[in-house]
């Protein structure tokens, strides 16, 4: 790797001039050419590390998400990466596993690596963003929000919950239960509130035990559905507040031999693969990739120096309704 000094020597100019050529400052066309020729001959690439040390910032953004194996976050990550790449930024992906300790560790890395900014889906309300924020690094919260004053991009989760539930009501189901995520996570709470709003408004019979809080994963959905089916008066339809729990629920239904012709299922989120899902499942398609591109866009604007007041962008979800009960 050639350095700026070697290029300068070959071109017969000072290192400062070489730097100016590569940073778009005022340099005479003639020296400009000399430098570019020399740089080309030496296959010169500026050393990013040295530049970063001086500029105190890099072209890297950190993306902290709970789990890259969840297709929702995969799509989100893809969106972030696409937008970042257009702007010449690289993305470092960090799985927090919803563990505040891991999250904190990664935030520390982002700071000491002098990354340009952070996009994160906070593991809890207690994330300590104080350190990076006070360093002046822009932060964008995505999918979930935080008490810290940072930009945010989220989904209209209550509307998504309402849409999922309404689809089941419209399809003629009478006893609609809800498998919600753990308490304390805003996105899933809003979705569950959407469910509650609809069943209350429509005067739907909600028995004891029709609301179940489970962990966010397949096993949680599975256990919750088993419990629902074991009730004296089991529901005839269920709303789940995320995709993985729906997979678990489907598995439980299959094990119990319950046909989806007579049992309604609506998911806030997309099942891992649309094709293989029974057509009778209602899915609320979350704009995951768009969430990512939007967040990246906002972050890039902040990195570029945009100082407008904090923004929260709310994206709306699409509904893919199931056909009415035959």
| DSSP label of 308 | P
Q: Which of 48/316 has CB closer to a second copy? A: 48
Q: Which does 308 bind (CB under 5 to 8 A by kind): DNA, a second copy, none?
A: none
Are 153 and 188 in contact by the 8 Å Cβ rule? The answer is: no
User: For residue 248, which of 230, 261, 267 has the smallest C-alpha distance?
Assistant: 267
Is 323 near a second copy (CB under 8 A)?
no
CA 78 – CA 70 distance, rounded (Å):
12
Q: Which of 49/308 has CB closer to DNA? A: 49
**Terminal-residue alpha carbon distance, the chain:** 70
Q: Which of 27/139 has CB closer to DNA? A: 27
Sketch the per residue contact string, 67 through 106, with a second copy: x for CB under 8 A, - otherwise.
-xx-x--xx-xx--x--------xxxxxx-----------
Are 89 and 149 in contact by the 8 Å Cβ rule? The answer is: no
Are 139 and 148 in contact by the 8 Å Cβ rule? The answer is: yes
Is 15 near a second copy (CB under 8 A)?
no
Q: Which does 188 bind (CB under 5 to 8 A by kind): a second copy, DNA, none?
A: none
Q: Which does 9 bind (CB under 5 to 8 A by kind): DNA, a second copy, none?
A: none
Q: Where is 17: in which H helix or E strand?
A: helix 15-22
Mode of pairing for the β-strands spanning 176-180 and 237-240: parallel
Q: Which residues, 9 to 48, sit near DNA by CB under 7 A?
A: 13-20, 22-23, 26-28, 30-31, 44-47
Query: Exactly one of 30, 208, 276, 310 binds a second copy (CB under 8 A); which one?
Result: 276
Is 51 near DNA (CB under 7 A)?
yes
Q: Tokens at residue 199, please?
A: 């069943």
In the complex, least distance from residue 38 CB atom to DNA, rounded to whole angstroms: 12
């Amino acid at each position: 790797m050639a350095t700026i000094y070697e290029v300068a020597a070959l071109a017969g100019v000072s290192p400062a001039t070489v730097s100016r050529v590569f940073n778009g400052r005022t340099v005479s066309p003639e020296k400009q050419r000399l430098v570019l020729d020399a740089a080309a001959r030496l296959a010169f690439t500026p050393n990013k590390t040295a530049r970063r040390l001086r500029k105190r910032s890099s072209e890297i953004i950190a993306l902290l998400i709970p789990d890259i194996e969840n297709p929702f976050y995969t799509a989100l990550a893809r969106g972030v990466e696409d937008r970042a790449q257009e702007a010449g930024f690289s993305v470092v992906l960090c799985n927090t596993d919803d563990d505040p300790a891991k999250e904190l560790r990664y935030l520390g890395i982002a700071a000491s690596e002098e990354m340009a900014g952070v996009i994160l889906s906070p593991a809890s309300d207690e994330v300590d963003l104080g350190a990076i924020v006070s360093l002046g690094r822009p932060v964008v919260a995505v999918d979930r929000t935080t008490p810290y004053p940072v930009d945010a991009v989220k989904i209209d989760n209550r509307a998504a919950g309402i849409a999922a539930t309404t689809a089941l009501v419209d399809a003629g189901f009478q006893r609609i239960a809800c498998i919600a995520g753990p308490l304390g996570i805003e996105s899933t709470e809003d979705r569950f509130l959407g469910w509650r709003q609809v069943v209350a408004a429509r005067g739907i019979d909600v028995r004891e035990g029709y609301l179940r809080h489970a962990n966010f994963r397949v096993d949680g959905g599975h256990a919750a559905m088993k419990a629902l089916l074991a009730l004296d008066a089991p529901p005839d339809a269920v709303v789940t507040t995320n995709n993985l729990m729906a997979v678990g629920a489907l598995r439980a239904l299959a094990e119990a031999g319950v046909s989806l012709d007579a049992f309604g299922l609506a998911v806030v989120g997309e099942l891992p693969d649309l094709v293989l899902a029974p057509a009778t499942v209602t899915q609320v398609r979350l704009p995951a990739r768009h969430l990512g591109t939007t967040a990246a866009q906002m972050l890039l604007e902040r990195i570029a120096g945009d100082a407008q007041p904090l923004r929260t962008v709310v994206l709306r979800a699409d509904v893919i309704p199931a056909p009415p009960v035959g």
